[in-house]
Amino acid sequence: MRITWLILAAALGGSCLWAAPTDAPLPNVLLISIDTLRADHLSCYGYARRTSPYIDGLAQEGTRFSRAYTVIPLTGPAHLSLFTSRYPQENGVRRNGVALPDNRAIVTLPQILRGHGYQTGAFVSSWPLLGRLTHLNRYFDSYDEHLTRTYQLFNSSRYAEDVTPRALKWLHKHANKKKPFFLWVHYFDPHEPYLFRAGFDPADVDKAHPYQPPKDDGMRERMRNYDSEIYYTDHSIGKLLAALDAMHIKDSTMVVLVADHGESLGQHGYVGHGRHLFEGIIHIPFIVRYPGHVKAGQVIDTPVSIIDVTPTIVDLTVKNVEAAKEKVPVVFSGRSLASSLKDGGQPTDRRIYYVTFPGKKGYAPQWLSWMWVQNEELPSHFGRIDDFSKAIWDPGNKKLSLYDLRSDPHELHARILTASNSTYEADTSALKKWFSRTETRATEQKLSPHDEEVLKSLGYVQ
């Protein structure tokens, strides 16, 4: 069977080849994405509080990437970059509330897997991932977006306890069939507003791990609630993993856990995400477990990106299908990490990029764009990581902040370059060249007034 929608126009980035579908057995795939989850607030990433016993166990049975990064700290754009393996300026999705443009020759991970016979199901838990805003629902056989929890007068999210039973029901219905499944479960709970969950206080889990809270009472309470949300979400993840065991499909199911972005909890005088690119905001967890195919208990320290998720899953699933007469080229900007997962070798160092764009003060046609941004040619902030050398560029204020993450992991001692520095232009030209090579102007859909108000309530629109 020929999959005509996989024939793509030439684009920048590394290409990946795979065969048309055959009858070869394929693994199930369970993708868990957790909204607003900082990597350094998980126990397996060295956090003092034991917030994540089930995620920790997943890491012990699989491979953990210690330095994974998002490409943009916003829910909708980050997930669409994950599923397309393209940067936001490539796939046209720079803000929440924007869908993949219909005129882009880009395919998504669920399209690829469904084209190879996978049953596909999605369970999302927040407004920015609604099908009418992202169009992701087009690529899944089932797209569950039953949001029941009210925030600032809107039903804009749901809790882990709401989504997990529905996902488990789908899993029991579709597992152990002739077709493999691709199940995506998205949890929103660590996102603001952070709630303290009764019975989920990680400070009480392991007294042997002392924790030094912030001196500010308000921030200490905020962080305690945030950690409680993580612990609460981890409990639901444990139910998903237990179901795989109970159904005897653990060994035939690849589990991938990732976050869309992190969260600033007062560091650098900022709370939230979306506008800055500090480590707490862009450093995310990334864990893969696939018994017998992914090395257990290993940690990969080479920096990797959220856009590496899709090519890695493709490599570990459909690319292993016996070659057919004709292979179809598909272009990814990310790279497959499958070989490192299998043999434990560190992937080759590669520069990691990340961006964030000016926030709109409303939604208007493209010809009125001057009303909401001063400069749409470049991101409001963007940068790169080379090994432990990190750069964040603010082109509007002509400021380049340079960090050595090895000696300064909390980014407290920036070396600042401005336009008056003799090396400023040379140091920023590489970033401008990278962005110009990948940038294609987005065609943005117009949101309904209701959708705009909900996104405002969640802090996504100014």
Residue 223 lies in a domain: yes
Distances (CA, A) of 187 to 40, 126, 135: 18, 8, 19
Distance CA 174, CA 167 (A): 11
Indicate whether 168 pLDDT > 90.
yes
Q: Which of 17-21, 49-53, 175-179, 431-435 is predicted least confidently?
A: 17-21
Backbone angles phi, psi at 118, to 5 degrees: -75, 145
462 inside domain: no
State pLDDT tens for residues 38-80. Answer: 999 999 999 988 999 999 999 999 999 999 999 999 999 999 9
Same domain, 150 and 182: yes
DSSP 202: G
What count of other Cβ atoms lies within 10 Å of the Cβ of residue 105? 11
* Predicted confidence (pLDDT) at residue 23 exceeds the cutoff of 90: no
Q: Which domain holds residue 75?
A: 11-343
Residue 18 has a pLDDT of: 39
* Residue matched to tokens 């993580």: 230
Domain count along the chain: 2
- Positions of E strands within 309-429: 327-332, 352-356, 381-386, 389-394, 399-404, 415-418
pLDDT computed for residue 166 by the predictor: 97
pLDDT category, 356, cuts 50, 70, 90? Answer: very high
Do 384 and 328 fall within a single domain?
Answer: no
Task: Locate 112 and state its tokens.
Answer: 């690829």
Mean pLDDT for all residues in the chain:
82
**Would you state the pLDDT for residue 72?**
95
> Does pLDDT of 431 surpass 60?
yes
User: 257 with 356, same domain?
Assistant: no
Strand ranges, E, within 268-413: 271-272, 283-284, 286-289, 298-300, 304-305, 327-332, 352-356, 381-386, 389-394, 399-404
pLDDT for position 205: 58
Rounded Cα–Cα distance for residues 416 and 418 (Å): 7
Q: What is the pLDDT of residue 448?
A: 62
Residues 333 and 378 in one domain: no
- What's the token pair of residue 49? 């509080």
Cis peptide before 193 (omega within 30 of 0): yes
List the single range of 138-142, 157-161, 294-298, 345-349 with lowest mean pLDDT: 345-349
pLDDT at 14 exceeding the cut of 90: no
Query: For the ranges 25-29, 220-224, 349-353, which has the lowest average pLDDT?
Result: 220-224
Tell whether the model's pLDDT for residue 241 goes beyond 50.
yes
Per-residue tokens: 383 = 């940068």
Distance CA 425, CA 236 (A): 49
Which one of 301, 323, 343 terminates a domain?
A: 343
Region 109-135: mean pLDDT is 92
Instruction: Find out whether 134 and 124 touch, Cβ atoms under 8 Å.
Output: no
**Model confidence over 360-387: pLDDT tens digits?**
544 444 433 334 333 456 888 999 999 9
CA angle 358–227–61, rounded 5-degree value: 100
Per-residue pLDDT at 281 exceeds 90: yes
The string of pLDDT tens digits covering residues 294-348 is 999 999 999 999 999 999 999 999 875 544 324 445 779 999 999 999 887 778 8
pLDDT at residue 426, rounded to an integer: 86
Select from 222, 205, 258 the least CA-distant residue to 47: 205
The residues near 145 (Cβ < 8 Å, ≥ 6 apart) are: 124, 129, 130, 131, 137
Q: 334 in the Ramachandran plot: left (φ > 0), alpha (ψ -120 to 50) or beta? A: beta
Do 393 and 336 share a structural domain?
no
CATH number for the domain spanning 241: value is 3.40.720.10
